[in-house]
Amino acid sequence: MSKRLGRWLVACSLVMGVTSSAYAGVSGAIFTTLKNGSRVNDNIYTQKCGDQGVWLDGGPGPNAPQGAAGLPDGDYFFQVTDPSGKTLLSTDAVKFRQIHVSGGIITGLSGAGNHNTGTDIDHGATTIELCPFSDTPNPGGVYKVWVTPIDQFVGDTSAVDNTCKTCGFHGFIPGWSKTDNFKVGTGEGGACLVVWKDIDNDGSGTVSYTPSAPDGSIAWPVTIFDSNTGTSNTFFTPFGTQKDTCTFAQLPPGVYTFTEGTAANYVLSFNRLDNKYLTTGTYPDTVVQIRIKTGDTGYHELVFGNKPK
């Protein structure tokens, strides 16, 4: 993580005063992702709406056991505000922002919900598009998403905003809410990195973009190690979307190590970064290291090719 972004995150925490981890009224966690559940580096998005926009997710994070950090089952309302919570940015009535949680994860919209839905391919949760919501007045492009149990909401659910003295933040009481901050904008700049799998079975190097892997699984796992933060995260490579869809948007400068986990009965046959094939000795390597240089805002494509044993 860059020093500048680190200062931004600290500043947001100081402005908010209380973070979601301090909310004892609701256990579990919420977070934002792309439509397919892919995490966006440092919660910085390049757009508000669409598949590459901001989607609400919740429950266990990537590579976590099912039920870990799961939300209590039931129905919840959600809203989008500026980071202080003072300015409501959601533009539709509260009753249209109702979600259902079952088994610790979001499983869909409830009632008259009219937001688009997707699927988190990591653990099967339903993702909820936060749009429509207005632009934040925050000069840094920072937003906050809230969820609260419907029986803890205070106010009129048929209204867009609730501003009574006892309504907390537009009907959401901090002690009964979970929140997560995100940012929309160019931030400090950074590369767009797409990670794909070749599933043509022949190892020819031709990349196929199809809905599932040939062994019937959704995708193979890939682990990324970020030298900036010293942390690892396992994700599942996307299929069935546009070729130029970023797996990692606004990737800041640094060294990133990607390790592929191949599916049963398949062997890695090649890997390629952009138009260059990468090998270690005679065979390709399941570990690929990428260096993003300062000022790099371009599109890059990392491909792991596999074929049957």
Q: Confidence class of residue 256 from pLDDT cuts 50, 70 and 90? A: confident
pLDDT at 25: 67
What is the CATH architecture assignment of 191-308?
Sandwich (2.60)
Residues 8-24: what's their mean pLDDT?
Answer: 33
Looking at the DSSP assignment, which residues form a beta bridge with residue 309?
A: none
Rounded Cα–Cα distance for residues 228 and 203 (Å): 33
Ordered DSSP codes for 255-302: EEEEEE-PPTTEEEEEEEETTEEE-BTTB--SEEEEEEPTT---EEEE
Looking at the DSSP assignment, which residues form a beta bridge with residue 254?
A: 292
How is the chain split into domains, by residue range? 3-184, 191-308
Q: Confidence class of residue 80 from pLDDT cuts 50, 70 and 90? A: very high
Through-space distance between the first and last CA atoms of the chain, rounded to whole angstroms = 39
The string of pLDDT tens digits covering residues 107-162 is 999 877 779 999 988 778 999 999 989 888 887 788 999 999 999 999 999 999 99
Residues 214-221: what's their mean pLDDT?
Answer: 52
The string of pLDDT tens digits covering residues 269-297 is 777 787 787 766 555 677 888 888 877 76
Q: Confidence class of residue 11 from pLDDT cuts 50, 70 and 90? A: very low
Pair 262, 286: CB distance under 8 Å:
yes
User: How many Cβ atoms sit within 10 Å of the Cβ of residue 163?
Assistant: 11
Residues 35-57: what's their mean pLDDT?
Answer: 85
